[in-house]
Amino acid sequence: ALGLAGTATAAELKPEEQIQYRQAGYAFMAWNMGKIKANLDGNYSQPQVQAAAETIRAIANSGMGALYGPGTDQNIGDVKTRVKPSMFTEREEVGRLAMNFINAANELAEVAALGDEAEVKSAFGAVGKSCKACHDQFRAD
Amino acid sequence: ALGLAGTATAAELKPEEQIQYRQAGYAFMAWNMGKIKANLDGNYSQPQVQAAAETIRAIANSGMGALYGPGTDQNIGDVKTRVKPSMFTEREEVGRLAMNFINAANELAEVAALGDEAEVKSAFGAVGKSCKACHDQFRAD
């Protein structure tokens, strides 16, 4: 739990704040992925899926790369991180996976707005794969 | 830090997961509010402000009320919550403040897309007030 006032500039963020904010972004996307999955598995509510997809798209496009600053490659006191050191050195591969993810999230939001459940299912699968591709390489278990 | 796979349905979420997801949503909004403030205080980047405002709008419209289910009114083991018990009884007041917040977030995203800094400043102030109004009543210090 963060005790932040939300007034610090990005440049002023401490490493432990950056870690908590990036975890918050991923966690909130996971909640929204879970909602979309529940809709695909059960009763499909187009407005709920659209809102969830919009949230994932917005977070994907929010510039989370800024939350991987110096000093955020290791645990800081109680603030634990699961990032692998390679995330800070393999910049090209990170950029490729991040771009795949952003493109997939944009596509999901577009089809979610149109409401065809089969297309949403396919676009949702692509987003899930793009999350997993990054975790497989850059997140410790 | 959440260890969730992101596959549970909303109905299946444990109370401690709901608490962590709602804290994640608020924390991620705080990061984006901080970015907008830094832009207003320094060099103004319209695309960065727009992306941040889109994120706040999307989170505001993502149905976080679902994360205040039964059992989420108190700490659960290591998962601490700062919500006040009144949040679960004063439903009308919560609804009023939540609606003010959603309207303010929608307005901020609209003016951020148009790019007039003075309008963004004013709409940003209104969002900040709507966050604070809720915290003053429903969040412990």
Contact criterion met (CB below 8 Å) for B77 and B16: yes
**Structure-block tokens of residue B24:** 């994640």
Q: State residue B12's pLDDT score.
A: 84
Whole-angstrom distance, CA of residue B93 vs CA of residue B134: 9
Q: State residue A7's pLDDT score.
A: 40
Which residues, at least 6 apart from B58, have a Cβ–Cβ distance to it below 8 Å?
Answer: A51, A54, A55, A57, A58, A59
Which residues, at least 6 apart from A70, have a Cβ–Cβ distance to it below 8 Å?
Answer: A15
Estimate to the nearest angstrom the gap between the alpha carbon of B28 and the chain centroid.
Answer: 8
Q: State residue B9's pLDDT score.
A: 46
Chain A residues in contact with B35 (beta carbon < 8 A): 9-10
User: Which value, in Å, is the radius of gyration of the alpha carbons in chain B?
Assistant: 16
Query: What value does the mean pLDDT take over residues B14-43?
Result: 97
Q: State residue B141's pLDDT score.
A: 86
Q: State residue B11's pLDDT score.
A: 57
Chain A residues in contact with B135 (beta carbon < 8 A): none
Chain B residues in contact with A30 (beta carbon < 8 A): 2, 4-6, 21
> Bridge-partner residues for A76, per DSSP?
A79
* pLDDT, tens only, B67-122: 999 999 999 999 999 999 999 999 999 999 999 999 999 999 999 999 799 999 99
Q: State residue B1's pLDDT score.
A: 46
* Chain A interface disruption, residue of B55, B56, B81, most A CBs within 10 A: B55
Average pLDDT, chain A: 93
pLDDT at residue B2 greater than cutoff 80: no
- DSSP letters, A81-108, are --B-GGGGT-HHHHHHHHHHHHHHHHHH
Nearest to B59 among A20, A28, A41 (CB): A28
Confidence of residue A115 (pLDDT cuts 50, 70, 90): confident
Q: Which residues of B40-79 are buried (b: 16+ CB within 10 A; e: fewer)?
A: eeeeeeeebbbbbbbbbbbbbbbbbebbbbeebbeebeeb
Contact B38 A1 (CB under 8 A): no
Among chain A residues, the shortest Cα distance to B75 is held by: A1
Query: What value does the mean pLDDT take over residues A10-23?
Result: 90
Interface of chain A against chain B, CB under 8 Å?
A: 1-2, 4-11, 13, 20-21, 23-25, 27-35, 37-38, 41-42, 48, 51-52, 54-55, 57-59, 61-63, 67, 80, 82, 131
Confidence of residue A11 (pLDDT cuts 50, 70, 90): low
Q: Which of A9-23, A43-57, A77-91, B121-135 has the lowest mean pLDDT?
A: A9-23
**pLDDT greater at residue A100 or residue B11:** A100
